[in-house]
Structure 1
Amino acid sequence: MRKRLRNLYSEELVDSDYLPELVELGVLIGSHRTALGINQEEFAKMIGVSRRTMTKIENGRQSLSFVAFLRIAAVLEMRPEYLLQELTRVTQRKWSTKGED
C-alpha cells in the first residue's frame, strides 16, 4: 500500500510519489535542460539514470535522491541552491494565488 500524504495546496490526499513540488521541479529541470540544448536521453546518461527515469523525473512522477539532485544541478551548470530558490519562487507564487480561483 502506498504511503499517502496531504497535498500542500489542498486538503485532499495524494500519492507520495506525486506531489506538486515534484512536478514543478521536473518542469524546471526540463526547461533548463532544453535551454542547454541537451536531449532527454543524453541528459539521463549524464546523470546516471535511464531515459525512462528521466521522463518520470521531469513529469513529477519520480522523487530524487540528494545525490541525483546534485548531479542534475551540476549538469545544468547551476548551483543546487539556485535550483531550489527557483522552485521556491514557483511554489510561493502558486500558494499566493491559490485563494484567487
Structure 2
Amino acid sequence: MRKRLKDLHSAEPDEADYLPELVELGVMIGSYRTALGINQEEMAKMIGVSRRTMTKIENGRQTLSLVIFFRIAALFEVRPVYLLQELERVTQRKWGRRWSRKGED
C-alpha cells in the first residue's frame, strides 16, 4: 500500500491518469462559481491560489488540499460534506456505483 501511495505522489500524471471524480469535482466547482457570478481570477484570489491553479482545478488537473477544499466550500456557503455528497451523486449517476464501503460489495 505504501509503495502504491508513493507511486501516486511521485509519478508525473498524463491524460489517462486523471481521476474522473477529480474532473467532475472541477466541473461542479466551475458551475457553482459561474452561478455565483464570480470569474476564475476573483475566485482564485478568494481561496488563495493563482488563476492558473484555479483553471487546473476546474479542468480536473489539480488535486485539492483540504485547506483549499474547505475554502471553496466556505466561499460557496456549503458544508464540505455537501460537496462530497454532490460529487458522489453525480459520479454514481454517470458511471453507476463505483464507490463502496468495505463489506458492501
TM range (shorter): 0.7 to 0.9
Deviation by residue 1:73-95 (Cα, 9 ceiling, x = unmatched): 00111111111111000111122
Between structures 1 and 2, the one with greater strand share = 1
1:2 to 11, 15, 39: 11
> TM-score with structure 2 length normalisation?
0.76
Between structures 1 and 2, the one with greater helix share = 2
Please, which runs of 5 or more residues in structure 2 have no aligned partner?
1-9, 98-105
SS in 2 for 1:25: helix
Please, which runs of 5 or more residues in structure 1 have no aligned partner?
5-13
> What count of residue pairs does the alignment treat as equivalent?
87
Cα distance in 1 for partners of 2:64, 2:53 equals 10
Q: Given residue 36 of structure 2, which amino acid in structure 1 is its aligned partner? A: L
Deviation by residue 1:40-73 (Cα, 9 ceiling, x = unmatched): 0000000000000000000000000011100010
RMSD: 2.0
* Residue in 2 that maps onto 1:31: 31
> TM-score with structure 1 length normalisation?
0.79
